[in-house]
Structure 1
């Protein structure tokens, strides 16, 4: 064993991974641009669900500029819904 403690990944790193996974086959979209928009809209209290909602909103806001952002927004929203279906909504009884 290495003696290192397992630390959770920062939310930014997790969101970057999510964006890059959902970005495949969408060359006209820029996940780093979405990440920058999320960073500008987040607060210190933003959790992973908040960041995902910001990413969906950011992608949706760019649809008029580049329609391929509609697919990216849809993929992000689908991932969020799948996660909610698997784990329940925040605050749901266990």
Structure 2
């Protein structure tokens, strides 16, 4: 299992545009990836609706987890996205 904890860099957190970009990228990964806030329940990273329910804001930490083929690469790619301000990439 691949796992990484990262801080959300987007100024609006995982809301609206950043959530759409992130969920699309998660759906394109070879491994199924989940995301969760500390003390929360994991949700599918590819579901924009589930991402919005996380309520993950700017500077908060989330944990990405994936299993199976391509798990490490999937987690690394998605972690890199979260570490960028997706609001600024218009």
- Normalising by structure 2, what TM-score? 0.40
Greater radius of gyration (CA): 1
Please identify which structure carries the higher helix content: 1
- Normalising by structure 1, what TM-score? 0.39
Please identify which structure carries the higher strand content: 2
